[in-house]
Amino acid sequence: MTLARLIVVSPEELVDGFRLTGVSVEQADSSPDAEQLVRDLVAGGERGVIAVYRPLFEGFDDDLQRRLKASVSPVVVELPTGVGVEADELRRSRLADRLQRAIGYHVTFGEDET
C-alpha cells in the first residue's frame, strides 16, 4: 500500500528550503520538466498532495491545469511565489477547498491575532 504524502515540485533555488521542512521535493527548473514530472507522479498512482511552484504550474498545458485543479487524488495545489498581492483570505480559501476535497473535511485556519 502506498502512503499519501506531500511532494513539492520546485526550482533548484528553493529545493533546500523545502527539504529542511521534511517534505519530499522534486526539482524541476522549467515548466516542461515540471509538467512531465507531475504527469509521471499522477500516472504512477501518487496519492496525497503535490504542490507545484506557481510559475512552473502556469506553464503547464491548459487542459492539464484544469484536470489537476479538479483532481481529488492526488490533490495538486499551486505554491505562491510570495510576490505580488493576493489576499490572505483568498489563499486560505483555495487551500481549504483543496484540502476538503483531499480529506473530506472542511479545514479552518485560526484567525490572526493583531
> What is the per-residue DSSP string for 14-57?
HHHHHHHTT-EEEE-SSHHHHHHHHHHHHHTT--EEEEEEHHHH
pLDDT given for residue 37 in this prediction: 96
Q: Domain spanning 5-84: which superfamily? A: ATPase, V1 complex, subunit F (3.40.50.10580)
Instruction: Label residue 110 exposed, middle or buried (CB < 10 Å: 0-12, 13-18, 19+).
Output: exposed
Q: What pTM value is reported for the model?
A: 0.71
Write the pLDDT tens digit of every residue in 6-38.
999 999 999 998 898 888 999 999 999 999 999
- Indicate the pLDDT class of residue 113, thresholds 50, 70 and 90: very low
Cα–Cα distance measured from residue 46 to residue 73, given in angstroms and rounded to the nearest whole number: 8
Question: Any idea where the domains of the chain sit in the sequence?
Answer: 5-84
| Cβ–Cβ < 8 Å for 29, 12 | yes
Write the pLDDT tens digit of every residue in 50-99.
999 999 999 999 999 999 988 888 999 998 876 555 556 666 677 777 77
